Amino acid sequence: MKNPFQKYSKFFSDNLFWIKLKKFARAAGIKVVYAALLLFYTYRRKETPGWAKKIIIGVLGYFLSPIDAIPDLTPFVGYTDDLSMLAFALSALAFYVNKEVKVDAQRTLSRWFDKVNPDELEAIHKRI
């Protein structure tokens, strides 16, 4: 099966991921940032198989891509398509999102957001 996100892989790098998250975290919102962090930390796990890492790279590449279905600068809806793609990948790769990944993502999230509502994170956890 061909990875439908493969064409976006070229947009992914660790460095670009951190630059975009730091710059747009507040605009993207807690759910988008948390979903992206969950995927990133899942990607970094040694135990995550190569095929899963390829999907993550493609989806995170889509997130980083300057070309996307709904431009990220569009107020209120700009990150809707990104969240959908991130949630799809999390659902498909839920087996590899362990407690350590969640703790790392939450720790990083707390650096950018003063108050994190646990209900918002739970909405993501229910999808995986």
| pLDDT per position as a tens digit, 53-99 | 999 999 999 888 876 544 444 444 456 677 888 988 999 999 999 99
- pTM for the full model? 0.85
Its domain, for residue 106, covers 6-127
Identify whether 32 is part of a domain.
yes
Helical packing angle, 30-44 and 50-64, nearest 10°: 150
Identify whether 1 is part of a domain.
no
| pLDDT per position as a tens digit, 2-59 | 666 788 889 899 999 999 888 888 888 898 899 999 999 999 999 999 999 999 999 9
Identify whether 34 is part of a domain.
yes
Residue carrying structure tokens 């431009």: 71
Q: CB-side exposure of 24: number of CA atoms within 13 Å?
A: 20
Identify whether 25 is part of a domain.
yes
Identify whether 82 is part of a domain.
yes
How many folded domains does the chain comprise? 1
Identify whether 16 is part of a domain.
yes
